[in-house]
Amino acid sequence: MANSIHRPDLNPPQVERKTTNGSGILGGRRGVLRFATLPLTAIALFAVGVAGSGAPTNVDAAVSFSPDAAAAGPAHPHQFLVHFNSRSRADHAEILQRLRAHVVTEIPQIGLTVAETAGAPDQAVAQLNARRDLVKFAETNGIGTLPDNRITRVNLHPKSAKPMSDPTNTINQCMNDSYLAASAQIGAPDWGRTNTQWDQVPTSALLPNNKTSGSKVKIAALDTGVDNTHPDLVGTITSDSEDLANPSDPNPFRDVSGHGTAIAGTMVAHCDGEGVAGYAGETSEVTEIKVFTDTTTPVTNDALIAQGITDATDKGAQVILIEAITGPSQSIQDAIDYANAHNAVVVGAIGNEGKQVPTSYPGHFKGIVTAGASDQNDHTSSFNTIPQKSPRDIDGFAPESSLTTSPGGAFASSTGTSNAAAEGAAILAFNLSQNPGITNTQNGLDVKAATDPMVSDPNYTLYPQYRNHLIRVNFLRLLNGGARKMLTSLFVKAA
């Protein structure tokens, strides 16, 4: 079934994206993200720390590559998505036959049919949306891209790893991982870990513990693949990972752009004295669900994202991280709702457009946890996409950069809102490891309550409507139970 979803064209024709009621045009905008959400409308506002912006100063043979986001507006030239009200397959077949269309695949968890027509999909969508007796909604299969993150491979000449020798685990020995230690020695420390007090979390809290019986929290990452042979990631990537976009590839983990490997390292790189360490430490693992093409400018589509979310949910993911830039989609919203109903927290990024927009996706989806990027001074990064009319589209900010893993056993400095979202996913997974069995709503509230206001940001004074969102998470406060002890006013995303 998954193999039948069309691999997105790299240069698809410009086809207008229709609204789900067929009444308007939603022109694709570069940088409009769409991701997953928290249930029950209670959203965690968070921001977590990462390394300094840009590459460290004494970088040896640095290699830079920036997956430049393609235009996010065009739909697939022939595919559309439809949710039939009628359960009669005979009705479905008859309707599709009249449209000269056929079923490509189905995502039964959310009642979605992916179909292909010989004609223009926007015409089929308009006709389907006119039949409310048989159709809940129809929409074109929009193309999505990655946020425009900068990934710079680095060589810090790390010294030999310091031994993990503290028998009480009362200090954070993960900070001794050789690349993190070397970055501090050359004056380019991973400042986000200090800003968020992650560096003060004792090692014992970053290891599998008796609260979870040694089991790890599963984070699903919808991304570009991952180098599962990287020494800092071996054993952290689960065997049920899959490639939905490139089903014929014998290596489902292949990561051409390096984005997925960087994101995985930010979350779950080993705490072992070598290389770097993930924000979730050893508490979590990643199920990589590859929804992007194997290109340096990866692309995906709505059907692949929706299927990725539902597959992640069915695989038991407790946190789902989606890295994609698209426009509004009822299919993705339904997949998010499905994940929420199964107690999964879904996380995304606000995007890297560097300008204001009326509303921002994924933040405008109901229940989503959405992170923007912040700089070393706890100010909002200049490249954030900012929703001008809807502050609720942002849930919080996270430091913009991190030292992380790169394909081929290398390491990199990665900068962008993708890192903020990955850090948010990691803190939510970390909280689950300390409080197994809590609901996804409570998880979000815990993280929100353990945040620090970004009062030094000029926007804190200039735009009072954003004050509930100008916050950065504090790992140590979360660990010490601050979330459970604090009374907080909820900033609720309306249905």
**What are the pLDDT digits (tens) for 271-307?**
988 899 999 999 999 999 999 998 778 899 999 999 9
Return the biggest CA–CA distance within the chain: 71
> Does residue 196 lie in a domain region?
yes
**Pairing mode of beta strands 112-117, 75-84:** antiparallel
Q: Helices 259-268 and 417-434 meet at what angle, rounded to 10?
A: 30
The pLDDT > 70 percentage for the chain reads 78
Between CA 440 and CA 444, with CA 443 as vertex, the angle to 5 degrees is 90
pLDDT tens-digit map of 205-232: 898 765 666 689 999 999 999 999 999 9
Assign 268 to helix, strand or coil.
helix
Element (DSSP H or E) covering residue 305:
helix 302-314
Q: For residue 131, is it within any domain? A: no
Range of the domain at 291: 29-71+147-485
Give the domain CATH number at 190.
3.40.50.200
Cα separation, 363 vs 395, whole angstroms: 8
Closest CA to 241 of 144, 316, 143: 316
Distance in angstroms (rounded) separating the CA atoms of residues 265 and 285: 10
Mean pLDDT across the chain: 78
Residue 168: C-alpha distances to residues 131, 165, 171, 204, 316 (Å):
66, 9, 8, 8, 33
CA gap 312, 330 in Å, rounded: 18
Is residue 298 one of the residues assigned to a domain?
yes
Q: Are 268 and 240 in contact (CB under 8 A)?
A: no
pLDDT of 27 over the 90 cut: no
Helix or strand holding residue 171 (H, E): none
Residue 319 has pLDDT above 50, yes or no: yes
pLDDT of 247-263, one tens digit each? Answer: 888 898 999 999 999 99
Alpha carbon of 211 to those of 130, 216, 235, 285, 433: distances in Å?
Answer: 53, 11, 21, 16, 7
Q: Is 165 exposed, middle or buried (0-12, 13-18, 19+ CB in 10 A)?
A: exposed
Residue 19 banded pLDDT, cuts 50, 70, 90: very low
Residue 41 backbone dihedrals phi, psi, to 5 degrees:
65, -5
Asked whether residue 329 carries a pLDDT value surpassing 60, the answer given is yes
Which tokens sit at 377?
């001074």
Would you say residue 317 lies in a domain?
A: yes
Catalytic residues: 223, 259, 418
Q: Which residues contact 453 (CB under 8 A, 6 or more apart)?
A: 460, 467, 470, 471
Q: Looking at the domain assignment, is residue 106 inside a domain?
A: no
- Gap between the Cα atoms of 284 and 133, Å rounded: 46
Identify the band that residue 365 occupies on the pLDDT scale cut at 50, 70 and 90: confident
Residue 122 within a domain:
no
Give the residue, 434 or 311, on which the prediction is more confident: 311
> What domain count does the chain have?
1
Place of tokens 């891209």: 145
Is 14 among the domain residues?
no
pLDDT, tens digit, for every residue of 383-417? 888 887 777 778 888 888 899 999 999 999 989 99
**Is 92 contained in some domain?**
no
